Structure formats: C-alpha cells, structure tokens
Structure 1
C-alpha cells in the first residue's frame, strides 16, 4: 500500500471514528474481562494498516490498561507458590521478547492467514476458559514443579508477545497449575506479567519501526476513557453476559477474516 493511500485513509473521518470506537470498546472489554484485540486488530486492518503493524499498534495502544490494572492490584502482588518473582518476570520477559521477535519477522501475508485462527483460538479460550480453570483448580495441592511452571509461563509469554488475545485466560490457567488459589493474587500476577511482557514486546515493535504512532495517538485518548468506563460498567453487568458477548464478537470477527 502506498504512502499516499495510507495518508488518505488516515484523513478519512469515518476510518478515524471507527478506530477510535474500536479503541474505546476494546479498552472497556479489557477492563471488564479481556478481548480488546478482537476489536482493535480488525479495525486497524480495515484502516489500511498492514496486519503485522496493526497487531503491534493495537497492542501498543492498549498497553496503558495493563499498567493501570497492575497498579490497581499492587497490594495483592506477590510471588507465586513455586516460582520466585525474579525468575517469573525474567522468564516472561524473555518469552514476550521472543514472541515479539517472531511477530516482526512474520510476513504480512503469513500473519494475515493466521489472524482468523488466532482470533478463533482466543475466542475458544474465553468460551471454555472458566471450565478449564475449574477443572484445574479442583486439586490445588497438585501444583506443577518449578521447572514445568517456568516452561509453561515461557510458552504463554511467547504467545503473548506474538498475539495478546486471550493472554489473561492462559496466564490464569498457568497460575492455577502452579498452585495459586487466591483470586486477587492471581489477578495481580496476571496483570503484572501481562504488563511486563507487553511493555518489553512494545519496545521491540517500536525499535523495529512496526508501530504506527499516529494511530496510537488516535487510539490512546479513547483507550483511557474506555478503560475507565469499562471498569465502572463491568460492576453492573453479569460476568457470564460479558463473557459470552466477547465470545460472540470473537466468532463474528473470526468469520469475517476467514472470508
């Protein structure tokens, strides 16, 4: 796509409004339950951004939400049962960095072909994640050994650095396998891991010139407002209603990209 075409699309009021709305509702979804990338990635691709850059740009714009969530849970943050905090964060940093490196070396054609499958996988995580967590949590005393826990967190972090969709569900599942049972501590760790690996991944995206900063500037105000509104509204909407709404959005977006 030519630079002129990109500038033309950037000046298109409808496209600007669409991306801003996607950022608003994406941040609101992330604050409530997750799944914001289901909206931001398709909107940015529609705006004419190449798929890899769209993924990197959307992740960058949504990063402040992870940082804010980590700060909000700071009092509950502590090391998990079988892994020290330093080893945990280093593992997630390395995994997130490798995932980001894989993304920026993936061709746009290949990533565009992967998008519907990634969206579908993340949708399945939202649909079946609670059942998975309940089954894992039935035997909290049977937690994974330290090495297995670190390997699992590394794999999940690679996924998170490559594609953020459904990352929270995967992290909660891994923390449950480690032996965590306290919900607030699990959420605090999930948010901290997400923030750390995403921050590092965004640094790699930016260094590679993959992030479209003009679009980040368009999205950021909407993200900040949407994150606040989502956190407030989520208190009034039943969690199951929210979860299945996200699943429906994911299925629709997956179907559109399969076409």
Structure 2
C-alpha cells in the first residue's frame, strides 16, 4: 500500500511539474530496497507516465540548435545506456554517498531551472560536436539518476541557442523518455528491478499520472511548483542526514 500511494503521488507530480522520483526513490529505500536497485526500480515504475506524455507531445518534436531529431536521439540513447551501466557498476554503499548530492543538484534545477532557461536564451549556434557532447552527458545523467534532467536539457538547449522553452518542451520530453527507455532495458536485462515492489508502484504511478493531468488543469501553477519544491527540499535534507549523520 505504501508503494502504491508513493507511485500515485509520484505519477501525479510528474504530470504536474516533475520531481516524482523524490517520492518514489525514498519510498523504495524505506521498505528495504538497496539504493541502486531502488533507483533502477523507480525508473521503471515511472516510465509508463513518461511514455504517455511523449505520445501527447509527438507532433511538436523538432530539431534543436540546427541538429535533427534522429541524431539527438542517438546521442541521448548512447548516453542513457552508458549512465545505466555506470549505475549498475556503482556499489550501493558508494551510491548512498553520491545520492544526496544528486538530489541536491536536481532540487536546485527544480528551483532555478525555468528562470535559468529563460535567462540563458541566446541566438548563438554551437558546433554539432559541442551540442552532441552536452547531449551525451545529459543522457548519461538521465540513465544514471535522471532527477530534473528535463529541466537541465531545457537550460542547456536554451544556452546553446535552441529557441524558446515552449517550443523545446516536446523534444525535451521525448529525449528524456528515450534515455529512460534504454535505461529500463538495461536494468531489466541485468536483473536490477525488484519486481515485487515495482508492480504496485507502477500501478499507482499510472493512476497518479491520469489524476495529476486533470488536477493540473485546475491548480494554479505556483501552488504546484511550491508543493513540488517542498517535497524536493525535504527529501534532499533527509538523504543528507541519512548519509552523513
């Protein structure tokens, strides 16, 4: 029941403003799942919601910074595979020490991402190699952890002259889902998914995504953002305390 409710809340958060892993990951760890397996399981549990969002956004996908969608997807997927393998090679004890810092980075991006993206907009056109390098590391982060990777993509693309945020959002959603998709495949093939805990969370996340999409039409965006940030800051503080105190 705890994992179902965590999935319900995480799915709703992702549909509203993102940050669902701030709920799903600690919920899995709280029931005894090791941190690396919990991260892999959380990725799979929240994946169907991302697929649904990508389907909705499919008509708006376009090139970024003069680079076509297919090359962006190839680089993103390559980074996602590398990140997911790197996660599996990280001992849980070491990941426990890294996790609070990853959560802190994700929290800061949740807090500053939209404003940062707007401020970084430029008309400069980077070289294809520079764009591919940035996108590879974004995909790697997405496969390894993924918290707030969508906001990181928007900020990076805006800084590289990709255009306004609204037009970038469909491509961002598809690329985040692509990185998660290959990570899920790697995690399943490696046997890293804890299925008994994953199933109720996945069911909750799917229902939560549907509920969140409807709530999002009624709640003011400022309220949604404040609630998401509150969960993110609290979760980050708890994990710092867990790791260092």
In the TM superposition, what are the counterparts of 1:57-206 in structure 2 within 5 Å?
57-137=41-121, 139=122, 141-206=123-188
* Structure 2 residue 29 is matched with structure 1 residue 29: no
Query: Which position in structure 2 is the counterpart of 1:12?
Result: none
The answer to whether the 8 Å contact 2:114/2:155 transfers is no
Distance change (3 Å), C-alpha of 1:143 and 1:177:
farther
Q: Which moved more, 1:110-119 or 1:172-181?
A: 172-181
Question: How many pairs are equivalent?
Answer: 241
* CA displacement at 1:240 relative to structure 2: 2.5
Query: Structure 1 runs of 4+ off > 3 angstroms?
Result: 182-185
User: How far apart, CA to CA, are the structure 1 residues paired with 2:204 and 2:155?
Assistant: 30
User: Which consecutive unaligned segments of at least 5 residues does structure 1 have?
Assistant: 1-16
* Structure 2 residue 233 is matched with structure 1 residue 247: no
Query: Which position in structure 1 is the counterpart of 2:26?
Result: 42
The answer to whether the 8 Å contact 1:95/1:158 transfers is yes
User: Which consecutive unaligned segments of at least 5 residues does structure 2 have?
Assistant: none
Larger Rg: 1
Q: 2:2 aligns with which of 14, 18, 24?
A: 18
* CA displacement at 1:177 relative to structure 2: 2.9
The answer to whether the 8 Å contact 1:127/1:244 transfers is no
Q: Which moved more, 1:243-252 or 1:57-66?
A: 243-252
Q: Secondary structure at the match of 1:237?
A: coil
* CA displacement at 1:158 relative to structure 2: 0.6
TM-score by length of structure 1 reads: 0.89
TM-score by length of structure 2 reads: 0.94
Query: Which position in structure 2 is the counterpart of 1:51?
Result: 35
Query: Which position in structure 2 is the counterpart of 1:14?
Result: none
* CA displacement at 1:121 relative to structure 2: 1.1
Q: C-alpha deviations, 1:176-215, integer Å up to 9, x for none?
A: 2343335443111011101111110111111111111222
Query: Which position in structure 2 is the counterpart of 1:257?
Result: 239
